[in-house]
A = this chain, B = another copy of it.
Amino acid sequence: MSAVSTPPTAPGSTGPTPSASSASSGSTPVRRDAEATKAAILKAARHLLARHAHADITLKAVAERAGVSAPLILKYFGNKDTLFARVMSFEADADALLDAPLDGLGRHMVRHVLVSQTRQGADPLLRIVFAPLHGEQGDILRANFRTQVTARLTARLDGPDAGLRAELAVAGLLGLGVMFGIARSTHVRAAALEDIVDRYAPAVQAHLTPGDAG
């Protein structure tokens, strides 16, 4: 469901979550192909945006990199600007990231980052690290990150310093994503997912609900 996940090409990606329709009916393959194509287009746009200014990227370049035709991109995304707005948005990712009750949100978010990384080769938040590379685009990414991720989490928190606590919780998630997906550190990648959740989530949760537990 994520707006920017990589198509599931990684080993072990025969994931168990057929989102809406039944698992092996006749219509699913087509739908899945469309989703995979959209994901490939978004991935190509993201790749190019991390390396070039928005104005220098043509639809043709995105199409070539994604292995599709430019008209297909127009069909799915309207035009170049709406495509790039989608790439810059954290909205859909935040929907999934924040989809848990507050008292279990730390575990849910840590698990969601790890599952996204291992199953989709993507990360719900990690696009933000490309922000320093481009001027205006970086500002848009940062503003989106603030309103769509940290401010939205802040609104769910009680007690003092909610804004700071939300940012520190998200910082933990970002660091885990960097270690897993960019530094590709060996022990984190080899450990059982729930082992990392057990070790890492309490600190995230402590920012969200500092009263509970120690």
Contacts and interface: CB of A to CB of B under 8 A. Distances in A.
Contact of A164 (B132, B182, B187, B206): B187
Given A174-B174, A175-B172, A175-B174, A167 B188 contact: yes
Interface stretch (A1-9, A21-29, A62-70, A196-204): A196-204
A105 interface: no
A133 interface: yes
B182 A128 contact: yes
Contact of A188 (B129, B132, B164): B164
Contacts of A133: 50-51
A96 interface: no
Contacts of A200: 168, 171
A30 interface: no
Contact of A128 (B50, B165, B178, B203): B178
Interface string A170-214: 111111101101111111100100011001101100110000001
Contacts of A83: none
Copies of this chain, how many? 2
B179 A196 contact: no
Interface residues of A, number: 45
A163 interface: yes
Contacts of A171: 172, 175-176, 178-179, 185, 188, 200
28 contacts: A50-B133, A51-B133, A128-B183, A132-B182, A145-B185, A150-B183, A161-B187, A163-B186, A163-B187, A164-B199, A166-B187, A167-B179, A167-B186, A168-B176, A168-B179, A168-B188, A168-B196, A168-B200, A170-B179, A171-B188, A171-B200, A172-B172, A174-B174, A174-B175, A174-B183, A175-B175, A175-B176, A175-B178
